[in-house]
Amino acid sequence: MAVEKFGASERLECKILGQNRSAFRKKKPDMGFQEVQLRADLRAVAVKHPAWGWRKARWHLLAQPAWDGVALNRKRIRRLWRGEGLACKPRARKKRRTE
């Protein structure tokens, strides 16, 4: 960023970005293999079944023997589903009958 490129201070850069300095120094944790595999499986379910949401995708993964003994709680699946930018296909609205 500007610290390495222009020699600006960390304090000035954080002030410009409107970010706390403690958050500036904090690095994102590395994603584990299990997390990467889970994200890939969620994307595969979303492609195969576009009308399904995160709840039914979780139910589908729980039924697979590959995910036995792995914590697939609803908070985790919903966080990953949102993080991947997945969404279920919206239902078509029924047309109103005119008389």
For the chain, count helices (H), then strands (E). 6, 0
| pLDDT, tens digit (0-9, with 9 covering 90-100), for 19-75 | 888 887 778 788 888 999 999 999 999 999 988 999 999 999 999 999 998 889 999
Record the tokens describing residue 51, joined without a space: 């009308």
Distance of alpha carbon 88 from alpha carbon 69, whole angstroms: 27
| pLDDT, tens digit (0-9, with 9 covering 90-100), for 5-14 | 777 788 888 8
